[in-house]
């Protein structure tokens, strides 16, 4: 359809919507079958909710899937990242480098370890940590880097790992958005020293509430287990822990609930097939929008050897200047009018920027007269507005997009039409 034809009838101005049919289960996730139900009921029927046998089997499944020596399940992804950081040696006065625009669970738990977080710039095309900006933030206090494979997009790990090796830093991959994704053919979560991730019900690998870490490093695994899994200490090989049997070093009980473990085992068995379906659908969507002004796909190049995993919280990139400087929020409103009732709604921006949030910079969590961000530091590490100029533009340059769970071109084409229709008539919205 030509732009001239499309000038008639934007839905936000009273015209006919682009999506008028029932989309069925196009956005339903996770896919729960009788197999999941039976696995959960088996745990319930034998009263094993607080046991560990199913969880240990799930850990073995995860070790096999990621082809690593160790997997350790946790109650949440946040707990898994905290345990990974402690296992990597993060302690009082240390600094951890992370990105500002992501879920708070990536980095806020550093404060519970007596450390703090320092934010580096993000790449505008990947929405991931920018390796080129990391080194200027490294000090004698820096202990670790936490790259987030944001919305499934793999962080550029090769230069990041080179920097980490040069400075003797640990790398904790946050794979909560990208289970099953690849970076240059390598499975995300297996490139750094340890990979940690959430598998709550909204994730592409979903089991309700839960998280886990994976690693080939025996010491990291043993330390993470000792930190939050007191019942496993007698079985650890590290003699430093065995005399601590009965108590977790960190004072945390991070055991995964067995109902989540049971569902997780089933979901993992079908994961690759379902992810492949999501990838077909999402790539089809963006392929149809190739060349439309103002909107760009958030995905690696097809020939890069990198993939988006399950495309969790899928994003689009926005170029306002190609659409007469139409604000991204206005663009989203117009597309939402075209797809109203479909079960999908676009939102401008992404996660709240943490480096300017008052919880870190003003609020005194620990009650010692210092803002949380510098509670354990000997200098002011706060990063005011303007300190990360690239990152601070990103809320105006990205937005959520439909997260298709099935490759159904006839229906997806209607969503394509909604985006195309709005983009080609942006001048009517300015």
Domain boundary among 230, 247, 266: 266
Domain boundary among 250, 266, 282: 266
Return d(Cα 95, Cα 71) in angstroms, integer. 26
On whether the CB atoms of residues 357 and 367 are closer than 8 A, the answer is no
**Same-domain status, 191 and 339:** no
Give the pTM.
0.96
**Same-domain status, 15 and 78:** no
Nearest to 154 by CA among 173, 132, 137: 173
List the chain pLDDT tens, one digit each, 430 residues. Answer: 444 444 458 999 999 999 999 999 999 999 999 999 999 999 999 999 999 999 999 999 999 999 999 999 999 999 999 999 999 999 999 999 999 999 999 999 999 999 999 999 999 999 999 999 999 999 999 999 999 999 999 999 999 999 999 999 999 999 999 999 999 999 999 999 999 999 999 999 999 899 999 999 999 999 999 999 998 887 888 888 888 888 999 999 999 999 999 999 999 999 999 999 999 999 999 999 999 999 999 999 999 999 999 999 999 999 999 999 999 999 999 999 999 999 999 999 999 999 999 999 999 999 989 999 999 988 899 999 999 999 999 999 999 999 999 999 999 999 999 999 999 999 999 8
Return d(Cα 60, Cα 71) in angstroms, integer. 7
Structure tokens at 70: 């160790």
The shares of helix, strand and coil residues in the chain, as percent rounded to the nearest 5, are 40, 15, 45
**Same-domain status, 26 and 42:** no
Nearest to 149 by CA among 122, 120, 173: 173
- 362 in a structural domain: no
- 297 in a structural domain: yes
**Same-domain status, 147 and 288:** no
The number of domains in the chain is 2
User: The domain that contains 276 carries what CATH number?
Assistant: 3.90.1150.10
**Same-domain status, 21 and 116:** no
Nearest to 253 by CA among 52, 45, 47, 41: 52
On whether the CB atoms of residues 160 and 145 are closer than 8 A, the answer is yes
**Same-domain status, 154 and 20:** no
Return d(Cα 17, Cα 418) in angstroms, integer. 8
What's the confidence (pLDDT) of residue 237? 83
Q: Which domain holds residue 249?
A: 34-266
What's the confidence (pLDDT) of residue 5? 40
**Same-domain status, 277 and 424:** yes
């Amino acid at each position: 359809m030509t732009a001239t034809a499309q000038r008639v009838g934007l839905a936000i101005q009273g015209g006919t919507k682009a999506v008028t049919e029932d989309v069925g289960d196009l956005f339903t996730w996770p896919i729960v079958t009788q197999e999941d139900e039976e696995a959960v009921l088996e745990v319930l029927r034998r009263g094993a909710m607080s046991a560990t046998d199913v969880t240990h089997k799930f850990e073995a499944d995860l070790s096999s899937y990621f082809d690593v020596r160790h997997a350790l399940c946790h109650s949440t992804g946040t707990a898994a990242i905290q345990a990974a950081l402690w296992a990597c040696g993060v302690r009082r006065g240390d600094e951890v480098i992370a990105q500002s625009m992501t879920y708070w669970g990536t980095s806020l738990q550093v404060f519970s370890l007596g450390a703090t977080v320092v934010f580096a710039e993000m790449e505008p095309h990947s929405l991931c940590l920018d390796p080129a900006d990391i080194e200027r933030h490294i000090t004698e206090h820096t202990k670790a880097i936490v790259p987030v494979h944001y919305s499934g997009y793999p962080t550029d790990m090769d230069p990041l790992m080179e920097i980490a090796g040069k400075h003797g830093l640990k790398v904790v991959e946050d794979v909560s958005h990208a289970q099953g994704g690849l970076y240059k053919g390598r499975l995300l979560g297996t490139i750094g020293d340890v990979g940690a991730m959430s598998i709550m019900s909204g994730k592409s690998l979903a089991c309700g509430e839960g998280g886990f870490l994976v690693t080939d490093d025996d010491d990291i695994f043993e330390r993470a287990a000792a930190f939050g899994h007191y019942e496993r200490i007698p079985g650890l090989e590290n003699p430093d822990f065995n005399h601590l049997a009965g108590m977790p070093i960190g004072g945390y009980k991070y055991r995964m609930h067995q109902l989540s473990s049971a569902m997780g085992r089933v979901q993992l068995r079908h994961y690759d097939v379902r992810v492949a379906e999501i990838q077909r659908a999402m790539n089809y969507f963006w392929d149809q929008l190739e060349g439309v002004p103002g909107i760009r796909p958030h995905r690696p190049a097809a020939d890069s050897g990198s993939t988006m995993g399950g495309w969790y919280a899928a994003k689009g990139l926005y170029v306002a200047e190609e659409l007469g400087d139409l604000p991204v929020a206005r663009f989203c409103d117009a597309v939402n009018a075209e797809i109203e009732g479909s079960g999908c709604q676009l939102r401008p921006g992404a996660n709240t920027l943490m480096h300017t949030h008052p919880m870190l910079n003003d609020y005194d969590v620990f009650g010692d007269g210092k803002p949380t961000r510098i509670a354990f530091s000997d200098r002011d590490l706060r990063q005011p507005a303007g300190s990360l100029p690239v990152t601070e533009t990103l809320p105006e340059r990205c937005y959520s997009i439909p997260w298709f769970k099935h490759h159904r071109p006839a229906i997806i084409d209607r969503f394509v039409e909604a985006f195309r229709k709005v983009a080609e008539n942006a001048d009517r919205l300015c």
